[in-house]
Structures are given as C-alpha cells and as structure tokens.
C-alpha cells in the first residue's frame, strides 16, 4: 500500500511540472496586443503603456488578433515575434537589459510601432512640434473715380511691409478706373469697365510694388517689401 501511494504522488508531481513551467513565478507580467486593426501596444499590469523598464526578467503575454499583422519585439538579447499569417496568444519569458527595445508589426513597420527604454537607457525626446502656419495679414485696397488707396488691417496707409503672405481685399467702385497691383511675383488687377470686389492671397517678396489705375496716371501709389527680420 505504501508503494502504491508513493507511485501516485510521483505521478501527480510529474503531471504538474509542465503547467508550472509556462512562466517564471518571479517575473513581472506585461501584455502585448496587435490587431485586429492597425494598433499595437505593450502595457504593464496596470494597463499603462510601457515606456521604461527596470533590468530584469519579464513574462510578456502577446495576443495576436490578426492574420495581417504580427508582434515583433527586438532589443539587446531579445528577438521574439509571432507569425503574420496566424493568430493566437503566446507568452515569452525574456531578460531585459540596458538599451532600447522596439515592438513593431513587420508587415507595417512605419504605421504600427512602439519603443521603450530599459535600465539606464532613455528614449530620445520627441521631435519638436511643427511651427504654426504663417499668419496671413490683411490689406484693403480701394479705387474710386478720383482716388486710390491701400491700407493695412488697422487702417494705416501701406508704405512698407515685411515679406510673407497677405490677403488683399479690393473694392473697385468705379466703372472708369481699376485697381492694378504689380511687383515681384505679383500682377493682379480688376476690370476697368465694371465695379467689382476682389480678394487676392499674395506672397509678397522683397522689392518695390506699385498700385495704380490703368486709366489715370494721377491714381497711383507704391510701397516696399523688406525681408523678415
């Protein structure tokens, strides 16, 4: 009877060994997910995206949810990946060392990617945001039977501007005159025989510009554009 009982205990222990070997009991758990859409992530036990890890042993459970993507983890001492053509869940026990690690989809490496630093390593800072688009300053031009003018948005007569983009709104209230602006890279005008309102977006360059009526030499003005700064 004692011999039979001993054999039974050994048998139970033998059956239990594979189950315990699926992960390291002392390892920290991480979770990776890829798919079904164009998303890939690696998170800690709190559900926070991983950006830095301590050196050590980790159990990384990856859920691959798409036959179009895979999860590929690379870095010092680690190169693990799932297959693109299959789905499923896998657990890797890996040793993380000092350095930078990346996780990508090999089929879409520029769209689906992430990275984290380990130990003393640090991820490079993100690139600075792009500069805001250049503001478009407003100008207003007007021509009547006897006058012509060009003013800033604040109402001051234009004598000098800095290079850049401008939006010029022209009010042509005369059937006998027109508003004609010309200078480096610009040649815009309204019609002589009709009243009109026009809006032009202009890229003004350094140099001299003139505005005039093509029907009257008395109706004219000019300004200069200087390089910024």
Asked whether the whole model's pTM tops 0.85, one would answer: no
How far apart CA 47 and CA 136 sit, in angstroms, is 45
Q: State residue 221's pLDDT score.
A: 97
Residue 51: how many other CB atoms lie within 10 Å: 13
Yes or no: say if 71 and 62 are a contact pair by the CB < 8 Å rule.
Answer: yes
- Beta-bridged to residue 189, according to DSSP, are 180
Per-residue burial over 189-217, b = 16 or more CB atoms within 10 Å of its CB, e = otherwise: bbeeeeebeeebebebeeeebebbbeebe
User: What residue ranges of the chain have pLDDT lower than 50?
Assistant: 1-21
Q: State residue 69's pLDDT score.
A: 97
Q: What is the pLDDT of residues 93-124, one digit of tens each?
A: 999 999 999 999 999 999 999 999 999 999 99
Q: What is the pLDDT of residues 182-201, one digit of tens each?
A: 999 999 999 998 899 999 99
Q: State residue 23's pLDDT score.
A: 57
């Amino acid at each position: 009877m004692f011999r039979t009982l001993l054999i039974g205990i050994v048998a139970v222990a033998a059956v239990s060994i594979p189950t315990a070997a699926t992960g390291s009991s002392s390892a920290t758990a991480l979770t990776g997910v890829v798919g079904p859409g164009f998303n890939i992530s690696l998170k800690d036990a709190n559900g926070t995206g991983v950006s830095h890890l301590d050196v050590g042993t980790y159990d990384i459970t990856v859920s691959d949810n798409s036959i179009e993507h895979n999860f590929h983890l690379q870095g010092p001492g680690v190169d693990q990946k799932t297959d693109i053509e299959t789905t499923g869940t896998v657990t890797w026990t890996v040793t993380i060392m000092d350095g930078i690690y990346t996780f990508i989809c090999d089929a879409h490496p520029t769209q689906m990617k992430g990275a984290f630093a380990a130990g003393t390593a640090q991820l490079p800072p993100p690139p600075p945001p792009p500069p805001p688009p250049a503001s478009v300053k407003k100008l207003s031009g007007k021509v009547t039977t006897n006058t012509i003018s060009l003013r800033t948005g604040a109402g001051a007569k234009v004598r000098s501007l800095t290079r850049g983009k401008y939006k010029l709104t022209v009010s042509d209230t005369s059937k006998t005159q027109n508003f004609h602006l010309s200078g480096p890279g610009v040649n815009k005008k309204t019609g002589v025989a009709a009243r009109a309102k026009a809006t032009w977006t202009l890229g003004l360059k350094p140099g001299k510009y003139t505005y005039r009526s093509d029907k009257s030499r008395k109706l004219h003005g000019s300004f200069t554009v200087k390089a910024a700064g």
